[in-house]
Chains A and B, each alone.
Chain A
Amino acid sequence: MRFLEINLNHPAHYFTFGPFSVSAGNLAIIIFMFLIFAAALILPFPDHDEHKPQSSSREES
């Protein structure tokens, strides 16, 4: 498991775009949030076939 260790005992790396500055860690989290947001919209949700008759009865009621 030692190979999983990441040495964080150093100053953070920053990306600077003019007046805007963001650390590599924060940028990674922001990109990760965009990715899971896109995945939540794109990926199909598991379908429960056994519940289909119940859902149709609800629509009737």
Chain B
Amino acid sequence: MAAESSWTAKVRSATVEKFEPEDLLPDHQPAYVSSWIYVFGVLTIASLAMIILSGFVLTFEGPAWWHSSNVGHYVNSVHLWSVELFFIFMVVHLWGKFWMAAWRGKRLATWITGCLAFFASIITGFTGYIIQTNFDSQWIATQAKDGFNAMGIGAFFNTLNTGQAILLHVSLLPLVLGIIVVWHIILVRRKGVVPPMEEVDSATRSVETMEVKK
């Protein structure tokens, strides 16, 4: 069998050769990245890392621990405030990218995966609210149940089923969100950070100038 026809060779050519190390882990960035508005994407990732780390601890220790012990209260608060900062940074990142039309330069897939990550984060956040195992989560779950019933999907997503909500929040949704976020980051690295609009204009002009000089 020829090497080109094997599935491993096809996977290699479809993935490894397309993702060059210089693109995935660059050591230089364009000058226009020196702006605070370009920091909010990585701040969102840092918040997500804190969410995952504190979530691991909460998962292993359980509700009795995070409701009763001082350390449990602390880790529970770290999880909550990491989520708050995650959404704040992500919304500012979204605003920044929207107003610089970040889908320019064949970056539409990057923009769409960012939108998908935003929606997946909202759903994950909602399931987090209904597994707090307190009176607040009971109230939210009953209100959400009415909402889901009104949409006709209450048989599939039963917010009063705490087991379903916990499994969605700690296994399925983080997996889905994780895949989307990794995909989004890979696309950002492959396509590069979107330049400001005036940067594209000046670059076009400089290329034209260089061609005239030649």
Contact = CB atoms under 8 A, between A and B. Distances in A.
A58 B32 CA distance: 13
B36 A29 contact: no
Contacts of A5: none
Contacts of B35: 40-41, 45
Nearest to A55: B31
A3 interface: no
Query: Which of B37, B40, B92, B95: most chain A Cβ within 10 A?
Result: B92
Contacts of B209: none
Contact of A36 (B31, B34, B92): B92
> How many residues of B sit at the interface, in one of the four size bands?
10 to 19
A37 interface: yes
A47 B31 CA distance: 10
Nearest to B36: A40
Contact of B34 (A37, A39, A45): A45
Contacts, number: 33
B36 A58 contact: no
B28 A54 contact: yes
B34 A33 contact: no
A29 B89 CA distance: 11
Nearest to A56: B31
Given A33-B91, A45-B34, A40 B28 contact: no
A6 interface: no
A4 interface: no
Contact of A40 (B31, B34, B39, B84): B39
Given A54-B28, A55-B31, A58-B28, A41 B37 contact: yes
Interface string A33-61: 10011011101010100000011001100
B36 A39 contact: yes
A53 B36 CA distance: 22
A40 B88 contact: no
B96 interface: yes
A43 B38 CA distance: 13
Contact of B96 (A32, A37, A43): A37
Closest 8 CB pairs of A and B: A40-B36, A40-B37, A45-B34, A37-B92, A45-B35, A37-B95, A33-B88, A33-B91
